[in-house]
Amino acid sequence: GNSVTQMEGPVTLSEEAFLTINCTYTATGYPSLFWYVQYPGEGLQLLLKATKADDKGSNKGFEATYRKETTSFHLEKGSVQVSDSAVYFCALIRTGGGADGLTFGKGTHLIIQP
């Protein structure tokens, strides 16, 4: 079956630090990959996505590259802000047609200190 593994944290960084949150996956075929962010008390927001190998997703200074050879989709940001404090979920879905739910990692709680 499909699975996603990510560091759970909490990950605590100082403002303006470089961020990496690792995400690796196991899936049959080549899934589409996503990062979602959940701020306290809110729903999930799509942060970025990649639907095929070597695609780079980017949004709000965050980036992640779909690496087929290492089955990874690590999230990076060059300079984090206090407002980036949230829980980040790596997720995948089967690329082929058909009804599916997202397979999520356990989530990484990120805390940015001023």
Partner 1 sequence: DTEVTQTPKHLVMGMTNKKSLKCEQHMGHRAMYWYKQKAKKPPELMFVYSYEKLSINESVPSRFSPECPNSSLLNLHLHALQPEDSALYLCASSQDIGQGARKTQYFGPGTRLLVL
32 sits near partner 1 (criterion: CB under 8 A): yes
Q: 84 phi and psi, to 5 degrees?
A: -85, -5
Sign of CA dihedral 38, 98, 64, 20: positive
Does 56 interact with partner 1 (rule: CB under 8 A)? Answer: no
Distance in angstroms (rounded) separating the CA atoms of residues 51 and 54: 9
Please tell me whether residue 98 binds partner 1 under the rule CB under 8 A.
yes
Query: Which residues in 61-80 contact partner 1 (CB under 8 A)?
Result: none
Q: Site residues (CB under 8 A) for partner 1?
A: 32, 34, 36, 42-46, 49, 51-52, 89, 91, 93-102, 104-107
